[in-house]
Structure formats: C-alpha cells, structure tokens
Structure 1
Amino acid sequence: MVPELADLLATSRVVSLPMTARFRGITVREAVLFEGPQGWTEFSPFVEYDDEEASAWLRAAVDFGWRPTPEPLRQRIPVNATVPAVPAADVARILARYPDVRTAKVKVAEPGQTLSDDVARVRAVREALGPEGRIRIDANALWNLDEAEHAIHALAPFDLEYVEQPCATIDELAELRRRVKYMDIPIAADESVRKAADPLEVARAGAADLLIVKAQPLGGIHSALRIVAAAGLPAVVSSAIDTSVGIAMGAYLAAALPDVDFDCGLGTVAMFVDDVADEPLVPVDGSIPVVRPTVSSSRLDALSADQGRTEWWRDRIRRCHRILEHSAAL
C-alpha cells in the first residue's frame, strides 16, 4: 500500500539535527518525520542520493508508519559505539557518550587521512575499551584491494571483530576475503547490500562472512527480514544516522531476527547534540529498548529546518512518491 501523497505531506516535519562531530562530511543531519496509523516514522536518505535510491527509504517510512511491526523476539538490543574519523586524542570524548558499550565501530580510510591516522585511532579505541572490548572497522568501500589487504595487516594487532565494506566491488571483496582468510578476520558487506540492484549477489558470490543491514535503505523492516533470510548469513543491524524514530525502526528489525550474534549499530543518536524524542534512544547499560519513542512537538519546533530546506525535502517526497506509485502499479 502506498499512502496518498497528501497524507504524507499533511504530517511531515523536516528537522535539522546538529552533530557532535563531523561524520560522512556533515555536521548537521536532516530528516523528515511523518505520523502514520502505527505512529511516527522517518524518511532521511542522504542528500546526495538520487530519487530512485531515495524511494526505497520512503518505502521504509511507509512500512514502519502504516504497517504493523513483526512481533519482537527481544526487548532490548545491545549496540556499538560509533567513532568517526577523529584524531586519536578525541576518541575518549567520543566513547564517553556510549556508557557501558562493549563494542566500537571505528571509521577508517577517511579521504585526506593516512593509514597511520587509522592505526592511531584504532589503538586509542583499544586502549579505552581494554582487551575485552570488541573493535570493528568500516572503510565505506574507500580502499582498493591492495590497500585493504595492507590496512588489515596493519590493524590486525588490535584484534578486529570484522572489517566492514573494505572495497567497493563484490569481486574485490571476494578476493580480499580469500587473501585474509588465514587471519580469521571476517569481511562484512554494507554498501554491496544496501546500494546493490541485487542485495543477495554478495552472498551468492561468497564475498562476505556477514551482512550489515539497514532498515531504511532496504525498503523497511519486512523487506530487510526477507533479504537476511534469503542470504543465509549472520546479520548486523545498523543505522543510517537516523533520529530516534529511524533508530526505533532498526530496533524492531533487530528484535525480529531469529539471532542477534553481534552488537548492533543502533547507538548513533549519541552522535547528535539533540533529538526529536522526549526520551532519545541513546544507549543505557550498553543497549537500547525496542520501543516507538514519543516525539515531542516542542523538539520538532526547536529542530525545524528552515523554509528553503523544508521545501527541498517536500519536493523530494513528491518525486519519490511518484516512483512508489509507479512501482505499485506494475
């Protein structure tokens, strides 16, 4: 079902959330919230995505706002900290926003930085978490094959849980996985799932040991569950730097999976200075609850984007809605 465009626009609120540190090149995260029959939902594709890709995010918003969620199998979801590509000296400050979290995902391969910067950052995380902490790294597909192999060798002494999307292509992932198999460091696929025309291709190619799944880019909770089941690989549910509303979508996805073997990347509300929810879904005792947060009208007002950005997002909704209607008619 695709709701009428007027129903989406009637409750839409465009918000602009300042971040505690630069991430993915931004310091402010924009999102649109809608109120559907099931509650508040979110549409927040990154601004550089085209309408075809962004339409999957609108499908996810409809799925969460207009369709009942699967029955949760667990009530709390353990989460990881997210460490942007900050100097090593800033790591302790970042981790302080994630009390009692035992796992950290560390961004590496930042344009303009070096492998030495990555090593220093990961070393600082290991020192902060101690020997029992878990460290995973995320290169966002920015290494080539040889760079990835070299970097994994340099970072392996810090006991990596897995390496997320080290290279861009499935062929590169498969070859890298073959090269580092003796090191027993798993390869995880993110962009090769959520940005692929066929999200199952990476599993069929044997190019990854586990999948990173995100509810919004994959078209919603029900679509993501089908992909995980068909892939037959362990899955880590992660966020797309959502507000608490989008994080709740991810939490319900994680709660519906038969197994959650890894801490999920759903602690990213800690990256915001402020949030739309009365009780933001930030980690407490290393986890977040599986709940739909109450959205505060006063916070929506305080975080409202300016008129120009609001109209930009409303136009984007119109274009993506046309794509959904066309798909539904086929």
Structure 2
Amino acid sequence: MSDRPTFNELQGRVHVVSIPMRVRFRGVETREALLIDGPCGWGEFAPFVEYGDAEAARWLAAALEASYGSWPVAVRDAVPVNATVPAVAPGQVPAVLARFDGCTTAKVKVAEPGQTLADDLDRVAAVRSVMGERARIRVDANGGWSVDDALDALARLAHFDLEYAEQPCATVEELAELRRALSRNGTDVPIAADESIRKADDPLRVARLGAADIIVVKVAPLGGVRRALDIVEACGLPAVVSSALDTSVGISAGVALAAALPELEHACGLGTVGLFTSDVARPNLLPVDGILLPARVRPDPAALAKLSAPPDRQAWWRQRLSRCLPLTG
C-alpha cells in the first residue's frame, strides 16, 4: 500500500451514497456507503451502522487497500456466483431469482425473526421448484437457531438436498456441537461458518474446533483481500467468497479475492448488486451467465450525484471515517 492517507487528504476523495433496497434484506431497507476515490482505484467503506468503531475499522482497512494499495494476482478469469433469496414470501421467489442471470446456485435466507420454520420450508421449496433439481441450494440462518432448533430444521430442510447450511448457530462451540450431532443423526448437511469468521477476534478457531466444513469470507469485515486470503490459507478449508451488501465497488474487491483463491469449489455470494434499486457503476457488477469477471470498477459521476446521501448522513459518515482511520494501524 502507498502511504496511508490522513483524514484531511481523504476529505476531498470521499462520496457518501444512499441506495434503496428492492426488498428488505438483513433488516436493511436503504444501504449507505462511503466510497473513496484513491490513487490506485476506488474503495468502499460501508460497515453496518450498528457496528462499533473497532469492528468498522477493518472495513476501512479494506477500502484503503483497494484505493491506496493493490490486490493479489488472479489465478482465474471468471468467478461463478449464486443467487441470493431474502426472507420473502414464496410468491416473490420467481421475481427475485430472475434478477440473477444464469445462476445455478441459490442462497436462501432462513431463521428470519418473526418467521417460522414453515416459512423457511415454503421458501426453499419455491426456490427448488423454480430452479429445478439440478440447482444447488444453500441456506443461511445468520446464527438464528439454537443447536436443537438447527437439528430439527436441517433434518427437514435436507429433503431439498442442501449444498450446505451457513452459520446455523451463533457460536463456534455450537457449530461444532451441531456438526457432530448431524453426523450422529445421519443428516447430510455440511456446515459453513460466516459470522464465526468475519466477526471473530480469532477466525481460525473454526478450523481448530472442527466447527465447519466450509468457511465464508468477506473482504471488508476481514480487513482486505490480502488478509482474507491469508485467513483462507491458515484455515485450510474450502472457501466461499461473499458480499456484505456492497455496491459494485465493494463487489469488485470480493471478485478479486475469489479470483485469487488457489481453489474455488463453490459459487460465490457476489451477485447481490441486483438487490439494490440502483448502483454507483454503469455497467454494474451483475452476473451474466452466472459469472462475474475480475475488474476494477469506476463509479459513474451521474450515479454518484443521483445517489448522494442527505447532508446529515454525509456528516455522519465523515465523522465515522475520522474516528476509524486511526484504528486501521
């Protein structure tokens, strides 16, 4: 990375945008992001608003790597991606899937607060009906189940031939217990760890405790492409690269990571730009024939102006930037 910028140097390089979601996703209806126009490219700083500064600083480190540094060399020229289905009613599933051109894998949100397992089963059934028997389906509970609830839910969801279940329980210890219990019960559903990687002080505990078959890695929460690549290597488990509701700027960093992985056995969760009503880049990083190509992204000036956040939110993000910058090391 070139010399780390000061806050004053960044002031004239940042753009804060606010983009409505097509459907509520992860409790978010409007996604905000601070974009940095650096000497080496564009970076995205968009930790969710409830995150504290120490956690958010990792997202800023990733944005500075993209805008003031470099990414590893790609070992593949295309990255397969999955469709992402929020916790919508079954009747909305066809319209959601239609936004993911050529994707043959779908990640389906489950364990949504206020919903039931019956809702999850109906949603997954709708995805299987639309995509057909040859499609791969994975579910993501965001740590929303207890071990017992997960055992029951996955035994019933296994009927749909799941590729894996992502973060069914909240803690690493629970994931390890669940994985052992699934094996004893003969329920063939691999476990993927997401929050236990990206929100952990020690992401390698997942591998040490035998808590997952697969890890899900996200560039921004892990502090950048290079650090995420190091974590994948240290864990020694198959990896899926996913997004954190990024604009095309952030997605480009995820694609750079996926393109640099020595092995890539699973489609990546990087097609989420389609969940926005708009995007900062034209053309944007939407999958075509189920793939994304590694590329740097430059936002469109007209899109930046149209999506510019209100003045109070501009000020909020600049203040957050000033607090987090000293924490990036």
TM range (shorter): over 0.9
Give, in whole Å, the separation in 2 of the partners of 1:57 and 1:294: 19
TM-score normalised by length of structure 1: 0.97
> Structure 1, residues 89-137: CA drift from partner, whole Å, max 9, x if none?
1000100001210000000000000000000000000001100000000
Does residue 223 of the first structure (1) align with residue 205 of the second (2)?
no
Q: Is the 8 A contact 1:80 1:104 kept in 2?
A: yes
Structure 2: where are the runs of 5+ without partners?
none
Question: 2: CA distance between counterparts of 1:57 and 1:248?
Answer: 14
Partner of 1:124: 126
Q: What residue is the counterpart of 1:283 in the other structure?
A: 287
* 1:7 CA drift (Å): 2.1
Structure 1, residues 154-210: CA drift from partner, whole Å, max 9, x if none? Answer: 111001000000001111100100111232211000000000110111111110001
Hey, what does 1:140 align to over in structure 2?
Answer: 142
1:5 positional shift = 1.3
- TM-score, normalization by structure 2: 0.97
Amino acid at match of 1:303: L
Return 92-101 or 175-184, whichever deviates more.
175-184
| Separation in structure 2 between the aligned mates of residue 295 and residue 117 of structure 1, nearest angstrom | 38
1:243 is aligned, of 244, 247, 272, to: 247
Distance 2:32 2:292 in 1: 22
Distance across 2 between alignment mates of 1:245 and 1:155: 35
Q: Helix, strand or coil for the counterpart of 1:278?
A: coil
The letter of the residue matching 1:271 is L
- Return structure 1 stretches of 4+ with deviation > 3 angstroms: none
- Report the secondary structure of 1:41's partner residue: strand
Cα distance in 1 between the residues matched to 2:51 and 2:154: 29
**Partner Cα distance (1:292, 1:322) in 2:** 27
Question: What is the aligned partner in structure 2 of residue 55 from structure 1?
Answer: 57
Amino acid at match of 2:102: D
Equivalent position to 2:264, from 260, 264, 270? 260
Counterpart Cα distance in 2 of 1:47 and 1:223 = 23
Partner of 1:30: 32
> 2:302 aligned with 1:298, yes or no?
yes
- Give the equivalent residue in structure 1 for 2:191: 187
* Cα distance per residue 1:233-273 (max 9 Å; x no partner): 00000000100000000000000000110000000001111
Residue type of the partner of 2:201?
Answer: A
| Pair 1:274 & 2:278 matched | yes
Cα displacement (A) at 1:75: 1.6
> 1:277·1:299 contact (CA, 8 Å) conserved in 2?
yes
CA distance in 2, matches of 1:244, 1:231: 28
Q: Which whole-Å CA distance do the structure 1 matches of 2:157 and 2:111 have between them?
A: 12
Amino acid in the other structure paired with 1:254:
A
Say if 2:158 and 2:188, in contact at 8 Å, map to a contact too: no
Q: Number of aligned residue pairs: give it.
A: 325
- For 1:305 and 1:178, the matched residues in 2 are separated by 47
Q: How many angstroms apart in 2 are the aligned matches of 1:120 and 1:233?
A: 31
How far does residue 67 in structure 1 lie from its aligned partner after superposition?
1.2
Q: Could you tell me which residue of structure 2 aligns to residue 321 of structure 1?
A: 325
Query: What corresponds to 1:68 in structure 2?
Result: 70
Question: How far does the alpha carbon of each residue in 1:32-75 deviate from its partner, in whole angstroms, 9 at most, with x for none?
Answer: 10011211110000001000100000001011111111111112
What is the CA–CA distance in structure 2 between the aligned matches of 1:143 and 1:183, rounded to whole Å? 16
- The 2-side partners of 1:197 and 1:149 are apart by 27
Q: Aligned to 1:112, what secondary structure does the other structure show?
A: coil
C-alpha root-mean-square deviation of aligned residues, in Å? Answer: 0.8
- Cα distance, 1:2 vs structure 2: 2.8
- Among residues 113, 116, 119, which one is paired with 1:114 in the alignment? 116
Assess if the C-alpha contact under 8 Å between 1:279 and 1:293 holds in 2.
Answer: no
SS in 2 for 1:319: helix
Q: Measure how far apart 1:294 and its partner are.
A: 2.3
Which runs of 5 or more residues in structure 1 are unaligned?
Answer: none
Question: 1:79 and 1:275 mapped to 2: Cα distance?
Answer: 18
Query: Which AA in structure 2 matches 1:124?
Result: A
1:153 maps to 2:155? yes
